[in-house]
Amino acid sequence: MSEHEHSQRPIEIRLKSPGYLSFSRRVILGVLGTALAGGVGAVLSALLYTDGMRRLMLAYLVAVAFVLSISLGSLFFILIQHLTRAGWAVLIRRPAEVFALNVITVGLLAMPIVVFAFSGTASIYPWARGLQGDAAVVEQSTEHTRLQPNPTVRMVSTQIDSSSGADKESERARSHGEGSLGAEQPHSGNDAKEDLQSHLYAHQTFDELTASKTPWLNPTFFSLRLILYFGIWSGMSWFYFSASRNQDEVGGSEDTLRMERRSPPLALVFALTLTFAAFDLLMSLNPHWYSTIFGVYYFAGCAVGGFATSLLVWLVLSRIGKMPAKLSEAHFRDLGRLLFAFIFFWGYIAFSQYMLLWYANIPETTGWWAVRGASLADGYRSSWGYVLVLLLLGHFIVPFLGIMSRHVKDNQRAMIGWTIFILAMHYVDLYWLVMPEFRPWIAFGLPEIGSLMLVGGLYLIGATYIATQTALVPVGDPRIAPSAALKDMY
Amino acid sequence: MSNSPPPSPMDTGSITYADYEVIGTGSPYALVAEFDSVAEVMRAAEKVRDAGYLLWDVHSPIPIHHINHAMGMRPTILPWITLAHGLAGLLFGLVLTWWMNATTVPGLSASVQGYQFLISGKPMYSLPANIPIIFETTVLFAAFGTILGLLGLNKLPMLYNPLSRSRRMLRSTVDRFLVVIEAEDKNFELPGTARLLQSLQPRAVELINEER
């Protein structure tokens, strides 16, 4: 058989026996302990903090969206490698396959979100709140929205007001003293915060507008969709993982061709499921708001997270001698270039989304931004604006300029630092998408850190388990020798 | 590889000496050595580099990875040219959008004043709206800077080059690999340089003179 002759060809990679990953018990226990400590901290915070359960669930959603983005970014990496028949990345694709398959762990970790969607008024999703016989809430807001179809209108123009809001308005004017033009000074104290909340967080009451979206946004359909998404992602990842591992044993090009043939339709399925999952998990936190580019925005973050993780895993594991193959510096450089490109892509998409909504200046689309600190109007400034500026600098401008130079991409120690920094900023990105829904000033503490430790720790345990089930390089792929000999163009 | 007579100005056409063929008349322009494969030309390039030549080049029908190392070329300054042009474009875009939207200079003709259109209640100069324009001018300037810098660094367009008279040069766009050492190089001498090229075991060495 010619296929067997292929696999018999000597591979110019020195494999330590047998090229499987192993960690000492201490490391594994350390990660488990971190997860456990995080879990304890998270549960404690839910009991101790005001509105602790809601905050914990939002923080938990951030952590799950973060690890999900790493898995989806890795899946995307595998898909484009096969779509473009890229030989250069054969040697480095296995960690991406491991992290992609780890979407199964994310699926298990996402279960509390699904369960919590059924908890009625306690749910973090406003669309899930009206369905537990809370008729008073629905009725009251129905009256409100009849008078004024878009509740967020009040956010921008305080002149226009409905009868239901008039009392509050005059009260606000009174509380800030006569002579101050419509309470222009930034408010202080709880009063101001409540005031701001009632303006910015109108979307959190289950009103007519939200009710009209319940055919799509209801707990049952939501959970079914999530099961579908995770099922599809797990199936795709399992296909690529098992085909690649099968090739380790039988060799030949059959599996490579199979993976390539399926990649175009799977890429389409991937794009659709990722987009809708971003809509469901993150965008529906504000059911009044919509942005058609939101799925692409989350995807850009996924790509950044996935590439940064692949690069970090290779850099760190090569450094501590866990990797069986030695990468040429061209591999690191090319991965760094991909990461660089998608950092710019993220900035491009993030700015596109912002600019179009800002320019159109329609209240129903700017409300989401005002909650996230983008408004400089008096009374609407909030500390979330600092996070927004941090994102602009830390997720775009600083890493863009920082890893632009080839000399930085060649410096492996520097790239370890940069990938960790970029992953941290990617977390901040998702944090900024979700947490402003909790309150109009920064909330970062035990719930956020605890749930990140819990989810991140369990995610790493899952990834480590999957990684021990396979060799760390696809030794059976016929293109592995040319990939190992990869050289740069210049 | 014995002593060969230096090319005489009287020579016309191609005359084969022991070490090299001669094309054209007049003062020497360059020596050309012809190779069959990438591996051979890489080895040859390393030798020429180590002999200390600076004004020389490798001609190949395909891009050769790492030929720059074999030739001892310093990194190109083209990225810096691109960066400088990109920054110039950024500045140009900033000034352009600011001037056109938000200036009123007393005493200046109306044809060069800013437009002063108030659009959807935004400030006269509002940065987010202008970022796409600034981005475009940055990319435009950077692209032009790159292509013009490329042409400049390669001394293009060059309408005539004595090398074009060699038939061997034509094959460097098909299936041959050439090492060309220019006569202006301070280490260039005849027949020493020709002997160096012969020692690299090329298919042939050719001297190309300035005139027909």
Distance (Å, rounded) from C-alpha A442 to C-alpha A55? 12
Name the closest residue on chain A to residue B64, using Cα atoms.
A489
Half-sphere exposure of residue A288: CA atoms within 13 angstroms, side-chain side: 26
Separation in Å, CA of B150 to nearest CA in chain A: 16
Q: Which residues of A touch B128 (CB under 8 A)?
A: 351, 354-355, 358-359
Is residue A158 scored above 70 in pLDDT? no
Name the closest residue on chain A to residue B67, using Cα atoms.
A490
Q: Which residues of A touch B63 (CB under 8 A)?
A: 489
Question: What are the structure tokens assigned to A130, written together?
Answer: 């009206």
Distance (Å, rounded) from C-alpha A188 to C-alpha A190? 7
Phi/psi of residue B180, nearest 5 degrees? -120, 120
Q: Which residues of A touch B122 (CB under 8 A)?
A: 361
User: Of B153, B172, B189, which one is at a domain's C-terminal end?
Assistant: B153
User: How many domains does chain B divide into?
Assistant: 2
Separation in Å, CA of B75 to nearest CA in chain A: 9
User: Of B118, B134, B153, which one is at a domain's C-terminal end?
Assistant: B153
Give the H or E element holding residue B208. strand B204-211
Q: What is the DSSP letter of A284?
A: G
Name the closest residue on chain A to residue B66, using Cα atoms.
A490
Nearest-by-Cβ selection for A355 from B63, B65, B131: B131
Which pLDDT score is estimated for A17? 41
Which of B58, B66, B77 should be substituted to probe chain A, the one whose Cβ sees the most A Cβ atoms within 10 Å?
Answer: B66
Residue A42 lies in a domain: yes
Residues B136 and B195 in one domain: no
A490 — pLDDT class (breaks 50, 70, 90): low
Instruction: Give the domain range for residue B138.
Output: 78-153
Report the DSSP beta bridge partners of residue B31: B181, B207
Strands B25-35 and B204-211: antiparallel
A352 — pLDDT class (breaks 50, 70, 90): very high
Give the H or E element holding residue A244. helix A219-250
Phi/psi of residue B191, nearest 5 degrees? -95, 10
Which pLDDT score is estimated for A171? 44
Residues B62 and B164 in one domain: yes
Name the closest residue on chain B to residue A405, using Cα atoms.
B79
Separation in Å, CA of B51 to nearest CA in chain A: 22
Which of A359, A409, A486 should be substituted to probe chain B, the one whose Cβ sees the most B Cβ atoms within 10 Å?
Answer: A359
Instruction: Give the domain range for residue A20.
Output: 2-127+214-484
Is residue A196 scored above 90 in pLDDT? no
Nearest-by-Cβ selection for A487 from B65, B121, B122: B65
Distance (Å, rounded) from C-alpha A92 to C-alpha A255? 17
Residue A369 lies in a domain: yes
Residues B70 and B84 in one domain: no
Residue B170 lies in a domain: yes
Separation in Å, CA of A395 to nearest CA in chain B: 18
Helix axes A363-371, A329-360, angle to 10 degrees: 130
Measured CA angle at B59 (ends B53, B65), to 5 deg: 90
Sheet of B15-16, strand order: B15-16, B21-23, B204-211, B25-35, B177-182, B56-59
Question: What are the structure tokens assigned to B127, written together?
Answer: 């940065």
Separation in Å, CA of B130 to nearest CA in chain A: 10
Which pLDDT score is estimated for B17? 52
Q: Dihedral of CA B123/B125/B127/B132: which sign? A: positive
What letter represents residue A385's amino acid? G
Give the H or E element holding residue A458. helix A446-467
Which of B42, B58, B65, B90 should be substituted to probe chain A, the one whose Cβ sees the most A Cβ atoms within 10 Å?
Answer: B65
Residues B49 and B109 in one domain: no
What letter represents residue A360's amino acid? A
Average pLDDT, chain A: 84
Name the closest residue on chain A to residue B123, using Cα atoms.
A359
CB-CB under 8 Å, B132 with A355: yes
Q: Dihedral of CA A63/A67/A70/A73: which sign? A: negative
| Residue tagged 């999530």 (tokens) | A226
Q: What is the DSSP string of A76-136?
A: HHHHHHHHTT-STTTTTHHHHHHHHHTHHHHHHHTHHHHHHHTSGGG-SSGGGSTTSS-HH
Q: Which residues of B touch A488 (CB under 8 A)?
A: 65-66
Which pLDDT score is estimated for A185? 43
Name the closest residue on chain B to residue A490, using Cα atoms.
B66
Residues B167 and B68 in one domain: yes
CB-CB under 8 Å, B65 with A489: yes
Residues B184 and B146 in one domain: no
Which of B67, B71, B90, B120 should be substituted to probe chain A, the one whose Cβ sees the most A Cβ atoms within 10 Å?
Answer: B120
pLDDT in tens, A245-263: 999 888 889 999 999 999 9
Average pLDDT, chain B: 88
Residue B10 lies in a domain: no
Lowest mean pLDDT among A293-307, A413-427, B113-127: B113-127
Residues B110 and B89 in one domain: yes
CB-CB under 8 Å, B65 with A359: no
Q: Which residues, in sequence order, are CB contacts of A368 under 8 Å at separation 6+?
A: A286, A289, A291, A357
Distance (Å, rounded) from C-alpha A396 to C-alpha A390? 9
Distance (Å, rounded) from C-alpha A394 to C-alpha A422? 8
Separation in Å, CA of B29 to nearest CA in chain A: 29
CB-CB under 8 Å, A358 with B128: yes
Burial class (CB in 10 A: 0-12, 13-18, 19+), A146: exposed
Percentage of chain B with pLDDT > 70?
92
Chain A residues with CB within 8 Å of chain B CB: 351, 354-355, 358-359, 361, 487-490
Separation in Å, CA of A151 to nearest CA in chain B: 21
Q: Which of A278, A350, A227 is nearest to A65 (CA)?
A: A278
Is residue B142 scored above 90 in pLDDT? yes
Distance (Å, rounded) from C-alpha B48 to C-alpha B50? 5
Is residue A197 scored above 70 in pLDDT? no
Assign A286 to helix, strand or coil: coil
| Residue tagged 């410096």 (tokens) | A411
Q: What is the DSSP letter of A394?
A: I
Is residue A19 scored above 70 in pLDDT? no
What is the model's pTM?
0.82
Give the H or E element holding residue B25. strand B25-35
Is residue B2 scored above 60 in pLDDT? no
Residues B91 and B136 in one domain: yes
Residue A407 lies in a domain: yes
User: How many domains does chain A divide into?
Assistant: 1
A240 — pLDDT class (breaks 50, 70, 90): very high
Question: What are the structure tokens assigned to A81, written together?
Answer: 């490698």
What letter represents residue A87's amino acid? G
Separation in Å, CA of B127 to nearest CA in chain A: 10
Strands B56-59 and B204-211: unpaired
Distance (Å, rounded) from C-alpha B206 to C-alpha B31? 6
Strands B204-211 and B21-23: parallel
Half-sphere exposure of residue A214: CA atoms within 13 angstroms, side-chain side: 18
Q: Tell me which of A168 and B44 has the higher pLDDT.
A: B44
Percentage of chain B with pLDDT > 90?
55
Residue B6 lies in a domain: no
Report yes or no: A294 and A353 within 8 Å, Cβ to Cβ. yes
Name the closest residue on chain A to residue B121, using Cα atoms.
A361
A167 — pLDDT class (breaks 50, 70, 90): very low
pLDDT in tens, A437-483: 998 889 999 999 999 999 999 999 999 999 988 888 888 888 888 88
Residues B92 and B142 in one domain: yes
Which pLDDT score is estimated for A466? 93
Distance (Å, rounded) from C-alpha B3 to C-alpha B1? 7
CB-CB under 8 Å, A361 with B128: no
Residues B41 and B61 in one domain: yes
Distance (Å, rounded) from C-alpha A430 to C-alpha A444? 13
Distance (Å, rounded) from C-alpha B96 to C-alpha A53? 52
Task: Give contacts of B 37-76 with A, CB under 8 A.
Answer: 63, 65-66, 68
Residues B126 and B23 in one domain: no
Give the H or E element holding residue B204. strand B204-211
Q: Which residues of A touch B120 (CB under 8 A)?
A: 359, 361
Which pLDDT score is estimated for B6? 52
Residues B169 and B110 in one domain: no
CB contact, 8 Å: B129 with chain A?
A: yes
Task: Return the HEC string of A417-444.
Answer: HHHHHHHHHHHHHHHHHHHHHCCCCCCC
CB contact, 8 Å: B90 with chain A?
A: no
Bond preceding residue A18 cis, omega within 30 of 0: yes
Which pLDDT score is estimated for A447? 93
Name the closest residue on chain B to residue A485, using Cα atoms.
B65
pLDDT in tens, B94-124: 999 999 988 888 888 888 888 888 888 888 8
CB contact, 8 Å: B203 with chain A?
A: no
Report yes or no: A104 and A90 within 8 Å, Cβ to Cβ. no
User: Of B106, B136, B153, which one is at a domain's C-terminal end?
Assistant: B153
Residue A313 lies in a domain: yes
ipTM higher than the 0.90 cut: no
Separation in Å, CA of A240 to nearest CA in chain B: 32
